[in-house]
Structure 1
Amino acid sequence: MVRGNSYVVSAAIVDAFQNIFAETKLLFLKNNNLNILNSQSAEQEIKDKFPRIEEVSIEKQWPDKIIVVIKEKEAVEILCKSKNASVSDFSVANFSDCFFIDKNGIAFDRAADTQGFLILKILDNRGVDIGLDKKSLNTEFLNFVRDLKNNFDDYLNYNIKLIVLDHSAQREVSALIDNWRAIFDVSGDAKKQLFVLREVLEKEVKDQKDKLDYIDLRVEGRAYYKLK
């Protein structure tokens, strides 16, 4: 019996356990000796086989029953590559190789390369390798993006459509907001940059938002903007 799974198919987990214990003849059948079951080793093999599983535990119910309890990973963001790394208009970017990433930034399952997800999408134009079980984004970047995402509504009445890492990016990240971009410094404080962004929009850009191209916040305490 398998509990706790929503995406990983129960039958696939049972089959995996049967393969793991085939050598010991423990095939979830009556009269098998549960004492020969190495739970810790089996749990690790299941996690290795199913990247979507974060935790797994085996409960033995004597004399012949096993319950597998799993906890699946939660998708925090979607990470994609662009089909055209030189694209300048990210609102029409063509995505490829999209993956759900977990709290540690590790890709654990494929995601559709379409718009419309409620989960924040990150477009990586740096040309780095993205794939299952890989961590393509460093911790500093992930922490900044999540801080930006979690505090955005407190400062602005907008939604972040897309986070973009440009191929030439060093310490900056762009956020596609409406039809314009905000460029942030990853090494800086997200809240302070959001405060400056709000001030520029309210006091300088004002009613020209429909003509806005980008606002650059990479210089601490300042902002530079460009109209289309």
Structure 2
Amino acid sequence: MKGIRFQSRMLYKRRRRFNFTPYLFIFLMVGICIAALLSGLWYFANLRYWQVSRISIMGNETIDKDSLNRTIEELLSGRFLFFVPRSQYFFLSASSLGGALKGRFPKIRNISVTKTFPDSLDVRLQEREIFIVYCFMAEHSSPVLSQPTPSAPPSLNGGQTSDCFYVDRDGVVFETPVTIAGSAFPMILDDETKDFSPGASIVSGEVLLFLERARVLLKDKLQVGLRSLTLSKDIPKDYLIETGGGYYLIVSRDQDQSGWLSSLKTLLETRLKDKVSEVDYIDLRFGSKIFYKLKGGAQKSG
């Protein structure tokens, strides 16, 4: 009997039970929960209730309101991460939208974008105001203004203005004028190569301050306007000023304006009193030693 029992144990081995674990079940449940969560997020993210659809724009004076609306709608189109609309209230970044609008419309100086739950957007902006007209002189055939012997000033007619832009008091270029003929704004002419784009600062505060002060002093002391200020690589230490009186002034960039203005006033009221209309240019770079030239005449000192 013992032999038979041993033999049966050898012939019929006990089968090992399968140890079932819940791993597969857990994996399936996690997958279902993730899918449900994503579906719920997609559903709530796409609800019309909190899609920004009401846009209020205030402060625009010359910028077309329809263009602003179209640009905002364009910026709010599309989706984040393939399923969240960019117009979704909670995902919309007001600061990013304001920066994008400022980049698209260089004439915007300041902008504030505010969201109002659940679907409103309030855009308030301040436009840049024209201060000067800036023109880049593509070509300039002027002689060099050398020291100590001054020569004729650069002829503005000898240069060709290839690009002109409106510039605000911050020195930021923001718009191309339709025409510069008879412009009511003073001009800055520059023959140095510039690499810039609309919305960038192109004129330094130092130059703008000089132009503004010179314009005020000329108007107050001599009752003459300032038409243009030339920055030329031929005269890196000096400015060339075109006045409303039809003559030019050559002044040093680091010279006190009240000093050369006093010398100019004295010259115009004495030696050139009856010849102002004949003056071509006046060189005020050498203190009390003033050089001037009458139209069609030779250079003289005063």
TM range (shorter): 0.7 to 0.9
Alignment of 1:140-179 (within 5 A): 140-177=206-243, 178-179=245-246
**Which letter does structure 2 place at the counterpart of 1:194?**
L
Whole-Å separation in 2 of the counterparts to 1:56 and 1:193: 42
How far apart, in 2, do the equivalents of 1:131 and 1:226 lie?
39
Larger deviation: 115-124 or 186-195?
186-195
Greater alpha carbon shift after TM alignment, 7-16 vs 128-137: 128-137
In structure 2, what residue type is equivalent to 1:192?
Answer: G
* TM-aligned CA deviation for residue 138 of structure 1: 3.1
Can you give the 5+ residue segments of structure 2 that lack an aligned partner in the other structure?
Answer: 1-55, 143-153, 296-302
Distance in 1 (CA, whole Å) between partners of 2:288 and 2:191 is: 28
Q: 1:76 aligns with which of 128, 131, 137?
A: 131
Note the aligned Cα RMSD (angstroms). 2.3
Q: How many residues align?
A: 223
Range with bigger deviation, 71-80 or 100-109: 100-109
Query: Percent identity at matched positions?
Result: 24
Alignment of 1:181-192 (within 5 A): 181-192=248-259
Task: In structure 2, give the amino acid aligned to 1:121.
Answer: M
Cα distance in 2, alignment partners of residues 90 and 126 from structure 1:
14
Q: How does 1:75-154 map to 2 (within 5 A)?
A: 75-82=130-137, 84-86=139-141, 88-90=154-156, 94-129=160-195, 131-154=197-220
- The structure number with the bigger radius of gyration is 2
Q: Secondary structure at the match of 1:108?
A: strand
Amino acid at match of 2:294: L
- For residues 34 and 127 of structure 1, what CA distance do their matches in structure 2 show? 45
TM-score (norm 1): 0.86
Give CA-to-partner distance per residue, 1:188-224, whole Å, 9 cap, x none.
2222222221111112211111221211111235432
The aligned counterpart of 1:51 is 106
Structure-2 residue corresponding to 1:25: 85
Q: TM-score, normalised by structure 2?
A: 0.66
Which segments of 5 or more consecutive residues in structure 1 lack a partner in the other structure?
28-32
